[in-house]
Amino acid sequence: IGSDRVAVQVSLGIARIARNDFPGHWQELFPSLVHKLGEISSGRGGGASPAAAVQLHDTKAKRRLYVLHCVIKELASKRLPAARKTFQELSQQLLPIIWQLLYSASEQV
């Protein structure tokens, strides 16, 4: 439980920094997040046993998706037209990736 609280605070911190630094000073933010999301869909989790790997993979996946959620939510709250345009372009790039994750998750169910 304690590490979940830390993960939430780290996610919120990343989102706040992204609000100020993206895209000007942190261009690699979304390529990095997209790469990590690709690891979720490819099933690379790691761990000692298959059960531990699934649990570790689920925890990592949830945390990565929560970071993305926080960053998107923070960037969506920007009001300036230039920031909104950047967010719209970013959304168009992220939609296929998120759709693929949703599709993969629905096939597993």
Each residue of 30-53: pLDDT tens digit? 889 888 887 776 655 444 444 444
Percent of the chain residues topping a pLDDT of 90: 33
Q: Decide: 64 and 33 in contact? Cβ < 8 Å.
A: yes
State pTM to two decimals.
0.77
Across 6-12, average pLDDT: 96
The pLDDT, as a whole number, for residue 21 is 92
Quick one: pLDDT band at residue 15, thresholds 50, 70, 90?
very high
Q: Which residue has the tokens 């605070």?
A: 9
- The length of the chain is 109
Mean pLDDT of the 79-89 span: 89
Task: Look up residue 49 and give its two tokens.
Answer: 């046993």
Cβ atoms 33, 67 nearer than 8 A: yes
C-alpha distances in angstroms, 88 versus 17, 94, 95? 19, 10, 11
Residue 54: per-residue pLDDT: 44
Task: Please give the helix or strand (H or E) that residue 24 lies within, else none.
Answer: none
Q: For the chain, how far is it from start to end, CA to CA, in angstroms?
A: 26
pLDDT band at 13 (very low <50, low <70, confident <90, very high): very high
